[in-house]
Amino acid sequence: MGQIITIANQKGGVGKTTTAINLAACLAAAEQKVLLIDADPQGNATSGIGLDKAAIKGTLYNYLIDDISLEAVSYPTALPNLKVVPTDQDLIGAEIELIGHQGRQTLLARKLRPEASNFDYLIIDCPPSLQLLTINALAAAHKILIPLQCEYFALEGLSQLYRTVSLVRGKYNHSLGILGILLTMYDSRNRLSHQVSAEVKKFFSGQVFKTIIPRNVRLSESPSHGLPIILYDIRSKGAEAYLALAREILLKG
């Protein structure tokens, strides 16, 4: 079975979508068969990977609510080994439509897990909240990857996320594990970045990736061009970092 990795943090602006796009792309470049699933109604992973939202006929909403196959809502990208399940604002309605639906917290898991063997990795990008869509993504996942920005409020809310992971593990997904905490937006010139990095490694010993994602202009620019960083600027520090992260995850197995 392919490994399902959910990328989640209820705080916005932590590099969650950037990580989803670029980790998926780097794994695909390493000849892994990868599916990127955009579970955030904002659809930033959809546009950031280069899909034209106006040309999309099927989305994650249709996969969840309608009787549509995963293949029917999976679209090719510029990388041969990478496909994407896009989303749009309709996904907001899914939470409302699923109210009262028996087993609504595990709908994605029941649909996705039987098809996971068609891929090596399935990467799910979550909205910046701990509501139903994120619960579904965690219930479907084998592992959670937590992006954490190297800024003052980095640890604020992390305990709540861990409680949610524990809740999902207890009720819906007993095998849910933590793949690791990924430090993002690291500025080596900034003393605060060093302090946050040291503090996270101290309190979450053994759970922090060795790879650290730096602040990088080229990395920030690439989504506006609809390209992952390895296609936008392979020589950039951002590309080097996400390639290193992909290697680290491949070595974890």
57-90 pLDDT per residue, tens:
999 999 999 989 999 999 999 999 999 999 999 8
Mean pLDDT of 33-60: 94
What separation, in Å, do the N-terminal and C-terminal C-alpha atoms of the chain show? 12
Q: How confident is the model at residue 1 (pLDDT cuts 50, 70, 90)?
A: confident
233 backbone φψ class: left, alpha, beta (φ>0; ψ -120 to 50): beta
What does the alpha-carbon distance between residue 116 and residue 84 come to, in Å, rounded to a whole number? 14
Structure tokens at 111: 């649909």
Name the band, by pLDDT with cuts 50, 70 and 90, for residue 253: confident
Which tens digit of pLDDT belongs to each residue from 197-229?
898 899 898 999 999 999 999 999 999 999 999
Average pLDDT over residues 10-37: 96
Encode burial over 218-229: b for 16+ CB neighbours within 10 A, e otherwise. Answer: ebeebbeebbbb
What is the distance between the alpha carbons of residues 8 and 140, in angstroms, rounded to a whole number?
Answer: 13
Cross-strand bridge partners of residue 85: 37
Domain that holds residue 193: 3-252
The reported pLDDT for the residue numbered 99 is 83
Q: What is the pLDDT of residue 113?
A: 96
Helix axis angle for 132-140 and 158-171, nearest 10°, is 60
Task: Compute the average pLDDT of residues 33-57.
Answer: 94
What phi and psi, each to the nearest 5 degrees, are found at residue 134? -70, -40
In three-state secondary structure terms, 37 is strand
State the CATH number of the domain containing residue 225: 3.40.50.300
Cα 32 to Cα 250: distance, rounded to the nearest angstrom = 10
Q: What is the dihedral of CA 25, 134, 147, 229, to 10 degrees?
A: 20
State the total domains in the chain.
1
Give the whole-angstrom CA distance, residue 252 versus residue 166. Answer: 22
Report the alpha-carbon distance of residue 124 to residue 87 in Å, rounded.
Answer: 12
148-207 tens-digit pLDDT: 998 878 778 788 899 999 999 999 999 999 999 999 999 888 888 888 889 889 989 899
Predicted confidence at residue 190, as pLDDT, reads 83
Q: What are the residues facing 149 on neighbouring strands?
A: 184
- Total-model pTM: 0.96
How many beta carbons lie within 10 A of that of residue 233, not counting itself?
18
pLDDT digits (tens, 9 = 90+) for 113-134: 999 999 999 999 999 998 999 9
Confidence of residue 43 (pLDDT cuts 50, 70, 90): very high
